[in-house]
Homo-oligomer: A and B are copies of this chain.
Amino acid sequence: MARYAIGVDFGTASGRAILVDVADGRQLATAVSEYSHGVIDDVLPLDDRRIVLPPDWALQDPEDYIRVFRETVPAVLRESGVDPTDVIGLGLDFTACTMLPTKADGTPLATLPQFRANPHAWVKLWKHHAAQPDADRINAVAEATGQPWLDRYGGRISSEWFFSKALQILDEAPEIYAAADRLIEGGDWVVWRLTGVETRNACVAGYKALWSKRDGFPDANYFAALDPRLGTIVDDKMSREIALAGERAGGLSAEAADWTGLPIETAVAIANVDAHVAVPAATVVEPGRMVMIMGTSTCHMVLSVDERSVPGMCGHVQDGIIPGYVGYEAGQSCVGDHFSWFVENAVPEPYQQAARARGLDIHTLLEEKAARLRPGESGLLALDWWNGNRSVLVDAALGGLLVGATLATTPEEIYRALIEATAYGTRVIIETFETHGVPIREIVACGGLAEKSPLTLQIYADVTGRPFKLAASDQASALGSAMFGAVAAGAGAGGHATIEDASAAMARLKDRVYEPIAANREVYDVLYREYLRLHDYFGRGGNDVMKTLRALRAGARAAEFGAAESGSGATASSSTDAAAPIEA
C-alpha cells in the first residue's frame, strides 16, 4: 500500500510544498504560496503609519508562513488525489538564521498592536544585515575572552546569525527584548504552530546559535560580558533541549489539521535548515561529496567523520546535517542575486528587445552569448562580493569589484565574468576545506540556478577542476523535508528508519555530468591566481577601500535622512547612527 510524505520548504520569497511517494521519492504534486509581504526592506507594511527601514534591513511577516500551510498542503492533496490518511509524515525546512520574538504561547510580537510599529518586533530574515556592529562586538569579546567555540565557526561570527540579531534587538529596542518571552528560529516556530510543542532543532542551533552537542551554548559569563542583560538569554528566551533531524517533533494539532486537511496527529519532523535538508535529497549521506544549493545565494555542505577546524567557514556541527557525521557549511552570499542585479541594472535595451523578439528569458540570451566566449576572452575579472563575503573572509562590509574593462567590453563579457567570479569563490571554499582535512572529490548541485544554467555548471567544473553532478529533483529541499517527514513517521508506519534509508530509496541524480575541460582549466588556473591575489589584497586588510566606501555611503545616506550633521564630512557617522529606523 502506497504511503506518502509532504515536505514544505520555506524560502526567501515563498513557501512550497511537495507530496512524494516514500517508496521511490516520486513527486506527485507541488504548490507554491508567495509571501504576501515578501521581503520587507523598505517600509513596514502598516496601514496607518509609515516606518522607513534603514539600509541593510530585511524583515518578514510571520503570518505569511502560516498561510503557506493553509494554501499549499490542501493544494498538493487536491492535485495528487492522495487520500490524506495515506500521508504518514510532514517535514519542513526554513531559511536560517531567520528569527522572531514571541510571547510564551508563541504569539509573535509583530502581531500585537502595541509592538507592530516597531521593526524589531518583526521576523528578522536571514539576509537582514543591519546587525554588523553587534556581530563585531560578539567577535571582539569572544576573541578577547578566548571562547573555545570560536574555532568551530572559522574564527568569525556572521551578522546574519542568531545572537547578532538578538543583540541588535537588545541594543536598539530593549522594550522588545524585554517583552519577548521567546526568541526563536522561524522553522522551530512553524513546527510549534503545527504541533503545539516548542522544539529547537540541532541544525540551526549548531550552525547559527553557537550550540554544540558536546559543550552546549556559550556560558552565561560570556553573554553577560556582551551585555549584563544578555547573561541569561538561553534560559530566559531559548531552550537547552535540542532535537536532531529526523526526530518526531509531535503530531499535528487540531488547528493545524484544519489548516492542512491532514489527519490530527500526523507525524511532524523537527525543523531543518533549507540548505542542509537538501543534502540527502542530493544522494549525499557520506564524506567527500559536496552539495551546493545554488540560488540567490549558494550554500555548500560537506560531511566528515572527524571534527576539523576550517577557518572562515559558516560552521561545523556534529550531527548537524546527517546524524553520525560532522556537517560543515560554507556560503556565498551573492550568486543568483548577482545575476539578477546585473539584469535589472546593467543590461541594455537592445538585449532585452532581442530576447523578447526570440521569446527568450534575458538570462537565457545572455548565457547563449556568454557561452560563445572562451575562458579569458572577456579580459575581465570580478570579485563576487556585491553582497559581502560569507565564507573564508566572513565580512559583510566587503563590496564588489570588476577589473579589466575596456571600451570594447560587452554585457555578455561582464555577465560571464560575474559567473566566473562566483566559481572562483567556490574554489576558494573547496581549497580551504581540503587544506584543513576535509576532502572534496565531486560536487552535487541543486537549486534553481543549477537547474537553469548549464554554462554556470561547466564554468564551475572548469574552475574547480571537479565534476559537477545535478540532483534529479528540482525541489531538493522540499524533497529532503519530505524524506525527514518519512523518517519522523518511522519504518513501522511505512516510512523509513533512517535518513540513509530514505536517501537510498527516494533520492536520485540526473544523468548529465559536467566534467572539467583541460584547456579551460589551464586558463582558469591563471585567472584564479589573479582572483586570489585581489581577494587577499582587498579582503585581508591590504586595502580597506571597500570599507571606506561603505562608511562614506552610510554617512551620505545619514545626512540625507537628516539624522546627523556628519554626512558631508570625511568621517562617516557610525553604522549604528545611520541605521535607526525613522518614521517619515
Task: List residues 520-539 of chain A with CB under 8 A from any CB of chain B.
Answer: 520, 522-523, 525-527, 530, 533-534, 537-538
Asked if A403 and B570 sit within 8 Å, CB to CB, the answer is: no
- Set B386, B406, B556, B572: member contacting A405, Cβ < 8 A: B386
Segment at the B interface, from A152-160, A307-315, A540-548:
A540-548
Known: A376-B555, A568-B519. A533 touches B549 (CB 8 A): no
Chain A residues touching B, range:
35 or more
Is A67's beta carbon under 8 Å from chain B?
A: no
Is A402's beta carbon under 8 Å from chain B?
A: yes
Task: List residues 399-421 of chain A with CB under 8 A from any CB of chain B.
Answer: 399-411, 414
Asked if B545 and A381 sit within 8 Å, CB to CB, the answer is: yes
A562: min CB distance to chain B, Å: 12
- Bound: A378/B552 CA distance, A: 9
Interface string of A548-584 (1 = CB under 8 A from B): 1110110111011000000111101000000000000
Q: Give the one of A348, A375, A376, A534 with max B CB within 10 A.
A: A376
Asked if B405 and A374 sit within 8 Å, CB to CB, the answer is: no
A526 to chain B: closest residue by CB: B570
Is A360's beta carbon under 8 Å from chain B?
A: no
Task: List residues 380-432 of chain A with CB under 8 A from any CB of chain B.
Answer: 380-381, 386-387, 399-411, 414
A530 to chain B: closest residue by CB: B545
Asked if A377 and B408 sit within 8 Å, CB to CB, the answer is: no
Q: Which residues of B contact A567 (CB under 8 A)?
A: 374
Asked if B400 and A405 sit within 8 Å, CB to CB, the answer is: yes
Is A215's beta carbon under 8 Å from chain B?
A: no
A137: min CB distance to chain B, Å: 23
- Set B404, B538, B552: member contacting A549, Cβ < 8 A: B404
- Set B347, B401, B556: member contacting A377, Cβ < 8 A: B556
Q: Which residues of B contact A375 (CB under 8 A)?
A: 556, 568
Is A148's beta carbon under 8 Å from chain B?
A: no
Interface string of A243-265 (1 = CB under 8 A from B): 00000000000000000000000
Measured CB to CB, the residues of A under 8 A from B are: 55, 334, 337-338, 341, 344-349, 352-353, 373-381, 386-387, 399-411, 414, 519-520, 522-523, 525-527, 530, 533-534, 537-538, 543, 545-546, 548-550, 552-553, 555-557, 559-560, 567-570, 572
Closest 7 CB pairs of A and B: A376-B552, A400-B405, A379-B553, A377-B556, A519-B568, A404-B549, A399-B404
